[in-house]
């Protein structure tokens, strides 16, 4: 028996076709979502912040991520000389001074 004969003999049930039609809009919505909506980075980078222990002279760079849909609070990420990245508490007095100094320059 040929493959064509086997497929001609199979008849999909109406219930199966209806189920497929019901899932079609969901599949289209998932596949046509914009990259921003389907991006895995839509969450806060900083889960835990530190308020002391990192002196500004050990920092190589400072990254500020504004609040938005991905996270309700602005995030402050310092890259240290040893390559480690830490999340800083932007309300800590020491880091407020660092931010103020950066903005003045």
- Identify the residue whose tokens are 């076709």: 17
DSSP 69-104: SS-SS-EEEEEETTS-EEEE-TTSHHHHHHHHHHHH
When the pLDDT of each residue in the chain is averaged and rounded to a whole number, the result is 75
pTM > 0.85: yes or no: no
**What's the pLDDT tens digit per position in 16-53?**
666 666 655 655 555 444 344 434 556 888 889 988 88
- The yes-or-no verdict on residue 100 having pLDDT over 80 is yes
pLDDT band at 78 (very low <50, low <70, confident <90, very high): very high
Cβ–Cβ < 8 Å for 86, 51: no
Residue count of the chain, please give it: 105
Nearest by Cα to 57 from 76, 81, 77? 81
């Amino acid at each position: 028996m040929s493959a064509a004969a086997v497929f001609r003999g199979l008849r999909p049930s109406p219930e199966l076709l209806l189920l497929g039609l019901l899932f079609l809009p969901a599949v289209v919505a998932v596949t046509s979502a914009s990259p921003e909506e389907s991006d895995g980075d839509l969450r806060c980078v900083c889960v835990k912040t530190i308020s002391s222990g990192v002196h500004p002279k050990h920092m190589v760079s400072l990254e500020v991520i504004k609040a938005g849909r991905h996270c309700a609070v602005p995030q402050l990420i310092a890259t240290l000389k040893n390559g480690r990245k830490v999340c800083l508490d932007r309300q800590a007095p020491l880091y407020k001074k660092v931010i103020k100094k950066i903005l003045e320059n």
